[in-house]
Amino acid sequence: MNADFVGAFFDMDYTVLRGSSGMLYLRYLLQTRRLTWPHWAGIVSQIGLYAVGISDFPHVMGRLMAQVNRYGETEAWQISAEWFEAMLRHYITDRARERIAWHRQQDHRPVLISAATPYAVKPVAEALGLGDAYLATTLEVTGGRFTGRLDEVCYGSGKVVMAREYAAAHGLNLDRSYFYSDSHEDLPLLEAVGHPVAVNPNRRLARVAAERSWPVMRF
């Protein structure tokens, strides 16, 4: 397929959302009493590994989904729908909606891309009118149950691989495309597109954006 179209890739946590979907998910599970203390202890240990850089976000979420959704993927989708209506939809920023609308006016193709799982990303994409235009970290499921292992990792260099595959399949030219992100962990994809945009950047990304004269936006 010819790469004739401009893509507009949007990170989700702290970019389209004013918060972390992972932490919001845990908060919802606590509020709805779906977590036992043993499960909570396991989750805290996994978050600790992520905080000190021993593990990354997708691997933490893979293990957490296996612990929390012990009845399987069907339960995960049910919780996802309930969670989105009760909590997550309120965290979508107006500025993200406006920017996606602007790209549509330019005949660009908006895509949500996140290290989070489809159980968080899919309902946000649908709420933004993107349908199935989203990329996420997918989890291995065997017999309808999570194994705790990952299938595809939409994180770091893996995010670039998935974006390139999506672009090739949908005729997007990455050299003309945009990517909006808050984190230095997304530098591989920010460097792969023609129009990198730092949104609500963390300290390291703000420094890189200043050095390279990238635009900075607040959502």
Over residues 154-161, mean pLDDT: 93
Over residues 199-211, mean pLDDT: 97
Q: Is 137 inside any structural domain?
A: yes
| 29-to-97, 131, 190, 197 alpha-carbon distances in Å | 27, 26, 33, 33
**Angular region, 34: left φ>0, alpha ψ -120 to 50, beta rest:** alpha
pLDDT in tens, 44-93: 666 655 554 545 666 666 666 666 656 688 988 999 999 999 999 999 99
Over residues 134-141, mean pLDDT: 92
Range of the domain at 107: 7-217
Distance of CA 32 to the CA centre of its chain: 23
Distance of CA 212 to the CA centre of its chain: 24
Judged by DSSP in three states, 22 sits in helix
Q: Is 55 inside any structural domain?
A: yes
Q: Where residue 89 sits, what CATH number does that domain have?
A: 3.40.50.1000
Residue 133: what pLDDT? Answer: 98
Query: How many domains in the chain?
Result: 1
13: pLDDT strictly greater than 60: yes
25: pLDDT strictly greater than 90: no
Over residues 113-141, mean pLDDT: 95
Q: Is 182 inside any structural domain?
A: yes
Q: Name the residue type at position 75.
A: E
Q: Is 2 inside any structural domain?
A: no
Q: How confident is the prediction for the chain on average, in pLDDT?
A: 88
CB 183 within 8 A of CB 205: yes
Residue 212: what pLDDT? Answer: 97
**How far is it, in rounded angstroms, from Cα 136 to Cα 112?**
8
Residue 166: what pLDDT? Answer: 97
Q: Is 110 inside any structural domain?
A: yes
Q: Is 1 inside any structural domain?
A: no
CB-CB neighbours of 14 under 10 Å: 19
Q: Is 49 inside any structural domain?
A: yes
**How far is it, in rounded angstroms, from Cα 73 to Cα 24?**
19
Q: Is 13 inside any structural domain?
A: yes
